[in-house]
């Protein structure tokens, strides 16, 4: 059987396109409806109640497109609102925390894992809980990087300001002798070069975007939801604010032209 319904993906802004980019590789036949809440980005400085409310509204919008699976591409929303979303909606919903944690635990050699994320994600302790649940023997060290999301949203991804900020943020983590670092926000892979320069060449960077795309493939398989048509999937994009900046940055993320972005909510 084949299920042609689309997969829904939402994020606070443009960062969730890192997930879409990986899904193009791992699930090329699947249609995707993407919603970026650009009018309310960033989520990482807001309360749990506000983030949960935004997340519910985002899923409600995706459900109007009859999605068969929802991916919460925002780490902050995943850490604070995922379980509530699962209780509210019947459609399968997956976040980015557990897939990233699983990958880090499987790849670390000295069992010293670092995590960077927004202030809300780090304060939630979601990654520490997920990592310790998989293997209590791992040591976890965290650091919040609240300016990384605005840097990405503004397109400041390879300039002296970004390198200076990263050096300040990652100084303490670098001193912890970690060998693995989870980029705990889907915006952060866009700053991979900057983060790598600050943390050092020997530290493995974990991109939760690719791991969640792999998780999506497993969920589709186990639930019998694959689109088994051989055609290439269609991607539709929606934002809650002016689309111009999203299109400009989105084309860099996806390495292709974005034909149309509509405003919603």
Instruction: Give catalytic residues, as residue numbers.
Output: 74, 185
**Cis amide prior to 42 (ω within 30 degrees):** yes
Write the DSSP string, 179-227. Answer: SEEEE-STTGGGGHHHHHHHH-TTSEEEEHHHHHHHHHHHHHHHHT---
Helices 17-26 and 208-223 meet at what angle, rounded to 10? 50
Q: How many CB atoms lie within 10 A of CB 26?
A: 14
| Buried b or exposed e, range 73-91, using 16+ CB within 10 angstroms | bbbbbbbbbbeebbeebeb
- What angle (nearest 5°) sits at the alpha carbon of residue 68, between those of residues 65 and 73? 85
- Collect all residues with Cβ–Cβ distance below 8 Å to 263 and sequence separation of at least 6: 238, 239, 240, 241, 242, 243
Structural contact between residues 40 and 53, judged by C-beta atoms closer than 8 angstroms: no
- Collect all residues with Cβ–Cβ distance below 8 Å to 131 and sequence separation of at least 6: 101, 104, 105, 113, 138, 140
Q: How many CB atoms lie within 10 A of CB 255?
A: 8
d(CA 167, CA 154): 19
d(CA 56, CA 52): 6
Three-state secondary structure call for residue 8: strand
């Amino acid at each position: 059987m084949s299920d042609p319904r689309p997969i829904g993906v939402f994020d606070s802004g443009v960062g969730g396109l890192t997930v879409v980019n990986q899904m193009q590789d791992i699930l090329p036949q699947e249609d995707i409806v993407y919603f970026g809440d650009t009018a309310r980005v960033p989520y990482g400085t807001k309360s749990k109640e506000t983030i949960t409310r935004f997340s519910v509204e985002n899923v409600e919008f995706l459900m109007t497109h009859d999605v068969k699976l929802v991916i919460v591409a925002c780490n902050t929303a995943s850490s604070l609102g995922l379980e509530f979303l699962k209780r509210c909606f019947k459609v399968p919903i997956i976040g980015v925390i557990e897939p990233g944690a699983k990958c880090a635990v499987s790849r670390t050699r000295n069992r010293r894992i670092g995590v960077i994320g927004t202030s809300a994600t780090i304060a939630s302790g979601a990654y520490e809980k997920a990592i310790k649940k998989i293997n209590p023997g791992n040591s976890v060290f965290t650091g919040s990087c609240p300016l990384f999301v605005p840097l990405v949203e503004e397109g400041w991804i390879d300039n002296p300001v970004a390198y200076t900020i990263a050096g300040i943020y990652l100084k303490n983590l670098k001193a912890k002798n970690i060998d693995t670092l989870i980029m705990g926000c889907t915006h952060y892979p866009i700053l991979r070069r900057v983060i790598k320069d600050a943390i050092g060449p020997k530290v493995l960077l974990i991109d939760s975007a690719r791991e969640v795309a792999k998780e999506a493939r497993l969920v589709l398989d186990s639930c019998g939801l694959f689109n088994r048509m051989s055609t290439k999937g269609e991607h539709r994009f929606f934002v809650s604010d002016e689309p111009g900046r999203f299109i400009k940055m989105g084309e860099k993320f996806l390495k292709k032209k974005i034909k149309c972005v509509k405003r919603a909510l």
